Chains A and B, each alone.
Chain A
Amino acid sequence: MKKYSVFEIAKQALKSHLGWEKAWENPIPKKKYDIIIVGAGGHGLATAYYLGKNFGITNVAIIERGWLGGGNTGRNTTIIRSNYLQDPSAAIYEKSRSLYENLSQDLNYNVMFSPRGVMMLAQTEHEVRGYKRTAMANALQGVSTEYIAPSRVKELCPIINVSGPRYPVLGALWQARAGTARHDAVAWGYARQCSAMGMHILQQTEVTAIKSKKGQVSGVSTSAGNIECQKLCMVVAGQSGHLAEMAGFRLPVESVALQALVSEPIKPCMDVVVMANTVHGYMSQSDKGEMVIGGGADGYNNYTQRGSFQHIEETVRSLIETFPMISRLKMLRQWGGVVDMTGDRSPIISKTPLDNCFINCGWGTGGFKAIPGSGWATAEMVANGFPGSLAEAFSLSRFKEGRFIDESVAAGVAH
């Protein structure tokens, strides 16, 4: 693999940019791999990358039904933050955020991480109390956040109307080191490095059955034939329930549709990410100038990657009160993704009832920010055979034992 650098760009420019090699290979599947990862989204690719980088395991296949990064990795609103309430969440999300800081250098691929700051608006008295509590919790966890007054909100984001009639801005939880990154580039950067380490990314290959005997997985049947493995790791977000059913167990997740939309591009007008959880809306401005808007999830099970019209209307309606200047913007595109929601709104990184089968799922509406940390923790679990310190609290057994990591309050629906 050729290293990307300014010199390489200059060299290629002299050759009319015809000399660039493919970023990743499209290999013929082998009969057997040490580890098969199902799902080449951000989390699956990151798991593969850290298996190679941290544990030297490279006989790995990443099997993808569609194209890599084409699911929720390419459908989110790219927000990265770690201002969670509970200790296990703060640990893994902060690990992830800190890995994002050097990810471009680590992957030799520009993921355009932009630590522009994220503010979560407090628009009710409950939120004021909740976010003050989160700021204190974050201070104890070593995550740098602060609770700021409306005047500071206005200073950081002048286009906000802080004195709206229905939901005035009473304050905000501000994380200056949070921000956004280019979502596709995260998937592409990981894929390029995985391919360079000799791993096989098998796109347009659908897993149709999981073969197991005596509590051990022996391999998978796919649309490209049978492939054997020593360990299997499922990282398929909204499809997790379906895949787990193939393996013979049921997960505490439900799949629902979550939507996002972007406006026509306009001149730079906001350089922070604003989340308004009471009214279920959040917004940031992309480098192209589009306002990127996310909203609430639908209330019912859905595998269609499209959501209800009324949720778009609700989201936009509520944002117009907070950002009056967007009222005349035209919306360019709208899309949906299938997210897997757990009962406590925290993810699952766990062993499964099958001995050599592992699962990473349940990120719900907020998986993008967690990609590097999740991959790091999952790789550790798959390589060692048991979860490490980052992952152990997120086990499947917590639902039976009542050890919830309750982020319904801290994270709400907006991520």
Chain B
Amino acid sequence: MLLLFCPYCELEAEETEFSSGGQAHIKRESVGSSDVTFEKYLFTKKNPKGVHFERWRHSNGCGKWFHAARSTLTLEVYGTYKAQTFEPPQALQNKIRKKISNWKWELS
């Protein structure tokens, strides 16, 4: 079972307290978008084999959305951070790069 840290409550809790919300940092498309960008927004997710940035909601807690960096290969959670940002905090990026040397942050 995953253990996630809610950055708002500042509490570590089990996965059953949260709900997963899919890939984080996606660009939201709307009216006027082309078919290609709309398809990418709705369906063509990153689905990486490795480091994944995703949205989680503390649904049985404060109810707030936050972001997590997690490995889809080992289920290791590298860290969580508040959602009001366009990219993961530098400290978290450095932490991941220390474990996986060839990893680099890319927007979706």
Binding site for B on A (CB under 8 A): 239, 241-242, 250-255, 299-304, 308-310, 342-343, 399-401
Asked if residues B42 and A301 are in contact (CB atoms below 8 Å), the reply is no
Chain A interface helix/strand/loop/mixed? mixed
Q: B34-45 interface mask toward A, CB cutoff 8 Å, 1 = contact, 0 = none? A: 011001001111
In-complex Cβ contact of B44 among A252, A309, A401 (8 A): A252
Cβ of B1 under 8 Å from chain A: yes
**Residue numbers in B under 8 Å from A253 (CB-CB):** 47
Within 8 A of A (CB), among B42-69: 42-49, 52, 54
Asked if residues B74 and A401 are in contact (CB atoms below 8 Å), the reply is no
Residue among A239, A250, A255, A310 facing the most chain B CB atoms (10 A cut-off): A250
Binding site for A on B (CB under 8 A): 1-2, 15-16, 19-20, 22, 35-36, 39, 42-49, 52, 54, 70, 72-75
Asked if residues A301 and B47 are in contact (CB atoms below 8 Å), the reply is yes
4 new A-B contacts, CB < 8 A, other than A301-B52, A304-B73, are A239-B49, A255-B47, A303-B49, A310-B1
A255 to B47, CA, bound (A): 7
Taking the closest CB of chain B, its distance from the CB of A60, in whole angstroms, is 27
**Residue numbers in B under 8 Å from A309 (CB-CB):** 1
A sample of 28 inter-chain contacts (CB < 8 A) reads A241-B47, A241-B48, A241-B49, A250-B46, A250-B47, A254-B45, A254-B47, A255-B47, A255-B49, A255-B72, A299-B19, A300-B20, A300-B22, A300-B54, A301-B48, A301-B72, A302-B72, A303-B49, A303-B72, A304-B72, A304-B74, A304-B75, A309-B1, A310-B15, A399-B39, A399-B42, A399-B44, A400-B36
Asked if residues B42 and A343 are in contact (CB atoms below 8 Å), the reply is yes
Taking the closest CB of chain A, its distance from the CB of B13, in whole angstroms, is 13
With A241-B49, A255-B72, A400-B35: A310-B54 Cβ-Cβ less than 8 Å: no
**Residue numbers in B under 8 Å from A300 (CB-CB):** 20, 22, 54, 70
